[in-house]
Amino acid sequence: MGSTEAGMKNVWLLTICMTVLSICYTMLVPFLPVYLLELGVPDNHAAIWSGMVFSVTFLVAGIMAPVWGRLADTRGKKPMAIRAAILIGITYILTGMVTGPWQLFLARAFMGFANGFMPAAMTMVSLSVGKDRVGKALGIFQTGLILGNVIGPSLGGFVESLIGMRPVFYVAGVFLFIAAAVVFFFVKEPVVEASEDGGVKSESLKEDWAFVKKQPVLRELLLLFFIMQGAILMLQPILALYVGKMQGTMDGAAMLAGLILSTGGAAGVITTNLWAGFGQRRGYFRGITFALTGTGIFLLLQSLPFGIWWFWALQIAVGCFIVGINPSLSAAVTLYTEPAFRGRVFGMSTTAQQFGCMIGPLFASAVTTVVGIQYVFLVTGALLIWAGLRVWRRHKHEGPIPTSAPAAK
């Protein structure tokens, strides 16, 4: 894209918009189980309905992500980002208007259909700067995402206490429309230079997947996206229960769990760009290895029930390491895909993450039921350590990838 200054302007604008989307998402989603009770769902059915309204979004989003990714490559990333922001805003407003659980279920399904802002924005971020600055740009973008995750839950609780639950959805919808307007008026569509050999020859989604299946590195990256998101969603739903178990009562457990998560997120905000710089200097796969392994080790330690303060301190360490995974994976994607195909691969990575979001909670429920809640942390930590060592074994001889590294063809 033109000058470095213009490219970084894109990066910062898209990061601000992503922060807004993240705030809106996290200030609403934690309250959906409570919203179901308000819609008349009995207490003994709330868990089932919560699982349904969460899972349907992930399922539909996972199916649609490659479609939106292909359209981003063929019709433009900017139009896809605007489309997603507007449709998500409409979804939030509709969600605030529902009168029953099935209407909420349909609204959440439409949310999955509307999804796609993040992969479109991430693709634009990666194309707005040179390869030597991709890691830094994606680190900035990831920082915005994490910052939104830290601010959202507290802001949602505060706004809900002032004006009630339904108006929070309307406020979120308005902010999504503002984000769409910012992208429309101020973000420039990055210019994608044509590949010398004509680029990837793919005319359909089936051919897109067939191409990726032939690329071992891209297959590995998609698996890692799946594992990472699955691990995160294995832990989030049970965190409040685990905190309650450690303190001996569920009174105040949800608030304390939210505070613990926010503290870990705040630590991640500080370290995200350190990981981006490490990846650029030492190699993104090395960064992936250390981030996965470090996260896994601290999760293993969290399975030892030594009390709240022990768990809280380890969550700060988890926050410092886990934020290194996603930007390193995304930067590696940019280095192994040519620009004209990048939107599709980021769309596929979204599919991998959404399916991880579906499988993670189900697996956590099974582990909790069979052997106990603390073993979820043990199993998740072991899984991430295994993934980290697997990456190290495959890429331990690789150093920093030069800016001229060939994309997969």
pLDDT tens per residue across span 279-317: 888 888 999 999 999 999 999 999 987 888 999 999 999
Element (H, E) at 132: none
Looking at the fold, whether 250 and 394 belong to one and the same domain comes out as yes
Instruction: State whether 247 and 334 are in the same domain.
Output: yes
Chain mean position to CA 187:
22
- Regarding whether 388 and 285 lie in a shared domain, the answer is yes
> What is the per-residue pLDDT for 403?
47
More reliable by pLDDT, 382 or 158:
382
**Whether residue 175 is found in the same domain as residue 222:** no
Q: For residue 373, what pLDDT is reported? A: 82
**Which of 9-18, 59-68, 131-140, 162-171 is modeled with the greatest confidence?**
9-18
The domain containing residue 6 runs over which residues? 1-187
Nearest to 387 by CA among 227, 248, 216: 227
Please say which residue of 187, 207, 232 terminates a domain. Answer: 187
Give the pLDDT band of residue 320 (cuts 50, 70, 90).
Answer: very high
Alpha-carbon gap, residue 363 to 231, rounded angstroms: 10
Q: Is the pLDDT of residue 140 over 90?
A: no
| Two tokens, residue 121 | 């924005």
Whether residues 149 and 244 fall in one domain: no
What does R_g of the chain's alpha carbons equal in angstroms? 21
Q: What is the DSSP letter of 330?
A: H
Tokens (6 digits) for 23: 């705030």
Residue 76 burial (10 A CB sphere; 0-12, 13-18, 19+): middle
Among 54-63, 200-209, 371-380, which stretch is predicted with the lowest mean pLDDT?
200-209
* Identity of the highest mean pLDDT range in 104-113, 207-216, 324-333: 104-113
Mean pLDDT in the chain?
84
Interacting residues of 259 by C-beta distance below 8 A, sequence separation 6+? none
Q: Which residue has the higher pLDDT, 403 or 249?
A: 249
Q: Do 131 and 230 lie in a common domain?
A: no
Report how many domains make up the chain.
Answer: 2
Q: Note whether 170 and 234 are same-domain residues.
A: no
| DSSP 8-state secondary structure symbol assigned to residue 100 | S
Q: What is the pLDDT of residue 132?
A: 76
Give phi and psi for 58, each to the nearest 5: -65, -40
Is residue 303 domain-shared with residue 232, that is, in the same domain? yes
Residue 204, in any domain of the structure: no
Mean pLDDT of 17-38: 82
Q: What is the CATH number of the domain that holds 223?
A: 1.20.1250.20
- In a domain, residue 194? The reply is no
pLDDT band at 178 (very low <50, low <70, confident <90, very high): very high
Residue 81: predicted pLDDT:
94
Q: Is the pLDDT of residue 199 over 80?
A: no
- Domain assignment present for 237: yes
Q: Are residues 50 and 120 in the same domain?
A: yes
pLDDT at residue 3 is higher than 70: no
Asked if 13 and 93 sit in the same domain, the reply is yes
The neighbour count for residue 277, using CB atoms within 10 Å, is 14
Residue 204 has pLDDT above 80, yes or no: no
Q: Which residues on neighbouring strands pair with residue 337, listed in sequence order?
A: 408
Q: 111 versus 160: which is more confidently predicted?
A: 111
The answer to whether residue 198 sits within a structural domain is no
Closest CA to 141 of 291, 330, 351: 330
Confidence of residue 104 (pLDDT cuts 50, 70, 90): very high
Structure tokens at 305: 């029930």
Answer yes or no: is 165 within a domain: yes
Number of other CB atoms surrounding residue 166 within 10 Å: 14
Across 168-195, average pLDDT = 88
Q: Residues 258, 392: one domain?
A: yes
Residue 206 falls inside a structural domain? no
Distance between CA 118 and CA 124 in Å, rounded? 10
CA distance 164 to 300: 39
The reply to whether 157 and 273 lie within a common domain is: no
Evaluate if residue 99 carries a pLDDT over 80. Answer: yes
pLDDT digits (tens, 9 = 90+) for 33-87: 678 888 888 877 776 787 788 788 888 988 888 888 888 888 889 999 999 999 9
With tokens 């539909």, the residue in question is 60
Residue 346 pLDDT: 84
Residue-wise pLDDT tens digits, 323-364: 889 888 888 888 888 877 888 888 888 889 888 888 887 788
What pairs with residue 408 in β-bridges? 337
What pLDDT, on the 0 to 100 scale, is given for residue 405?
46
Q: Which residue has the tokens 């490659």?
A: 66
Q: Is the pLDDT of residue 198 over 50?
A: no
Task: Kindly state whether residue 131 falls inside one of the protein's structural domains.
Answer: yes
Question: Where do we find the tokens 């899972």?
Answer: 55
Q: Which pLDDT score is estimated for 166?
A: 87
Asked if residue 26 is part of any domain, the answer here is yes
Average pLDDT over residues 239-262: 77
The model carries a pTM of 0.76
User: For residue 129, how far is the Cα from the chain centroid?
Assistant: 22
